[in-house]
Amino acid sequence: MIKINVQKNHIDIKGHAMYDDYGKDIVCAAVSSVVITTINAVSSLDENAIKYEINEGYISIDIIKESETTRKLITNMIKILKDLKQDYQENIKINEEV
């Protein structure tokens, strides 16, 4: 299961969806794609806005500089992850502490 922990200025994403075999898992691919796209978008607008770490089965994002654009991009990412959770409830868990 992918576990997503959302705090005001920090997001952790851990685990694998286990929807399909490793390398063929569309749920893992969707989550990774949404999160990496958001990281790239925020970083392209302001490389100092976030600090992030990406490892196998783990992504961590810290919001360092708050801006309207950064907040909108992060909020959009969380909304998409919630939409994915609705379709794959056995594979994604989201905990919000905001």
**Residue 23 has what pLDDT?**
85
Q: pLDDT tens, position by position, for the chain (98 residues)?
A: 999 999 999 999 999 999 998 889 999 999 999 999 999 999 999 999 999 999 999 999 999 999 999 999 999 999 999 999 999 999 999 999 96
Q: Is CATH 3.30.70.1490 the right assignment for the domain spanning 2-97? A: yes
* Gyration radius from the chain CA atoms: 13
- Dist. CA 23–CA 7, nearest whole Å: 29
Please tell me the distance from the alpha carbon of residue 16 to that of residue 2, in angstroms, as a whole number: 5
Answer yes or no: are the C-beta atoms of 61 and 52 closer than 8 Å: yes
- Which pLDDT score is estimated for 22? 84
Q: Look up residue 19 and give its amino acid.
A: Y
Distance in angstroms between the alpha carbons of the first and the last residue of the chain: 22
Q: pTM score, two decimals?
A: 0.94
Per-residue pLDDT, 61: 98
Sequence ranges of the domains in the chain: 2-97
